[in-house]
Copies of this chain bind each other. A is one copy, B any other.
């Protein structure tokens, strides 16, 4: 992960539809969702959504597989982790107490 790659990942999330797509797919989990279902759920035109999905795939935040006529999209949790790790790199270098609160609250109660 370098700065350019990370920038493209953050840029991918810097747009309401794309951010909601990723959140939706994070919640959807392993089964993911077909492009058409995402479009219906978020009330976005198919071609607009397609362009936005392509941006997220290019940024390494989504993966896809064809399934019959549909194309199914999934959140790429590895890509997500890489992006966050790049951002928080060495946050503990000086003072562990600084980054702990960030991570503690993220460890969702599962």
**Which residues does A use to contact B, with CB under 8 Å?**
3-4, 6-7, 10-11, 13-16, 19-20, 22-23, 26-30, 77-78, 80-81, 84-96, 98-103, 105-110
The one of B7, B27, B110 in contact with A89, judged by C-beta atoms closer than 8 angstroms, is: B27
Q: Is B102 within 8 A of A81, CB to CB?
A: yes
B-chain residues with CB within 8 Å of residue A4 when the two chains form the complex: 16
Complex: A23 Cα to B107 Cα, angstroms: 22
Q: Is B81 within 8 A of A106, CB to CB?
A: yes
Complex: A84 Cα to B87 Cα, angstroms: 11
> What are 7 A-B interface contacts by the 8 Å CB criterion?
A7-B19, A10-B11, A10-B19, A11-B11, A13-B14, A88-B106, A92-B108
The one of B13, B14, B89, B110 in contact with A99, judged by C-beta atoms closer than 8 angstroms, is: B110
Q: Is B103 within 8 A of A77, CB to CB?
A: no
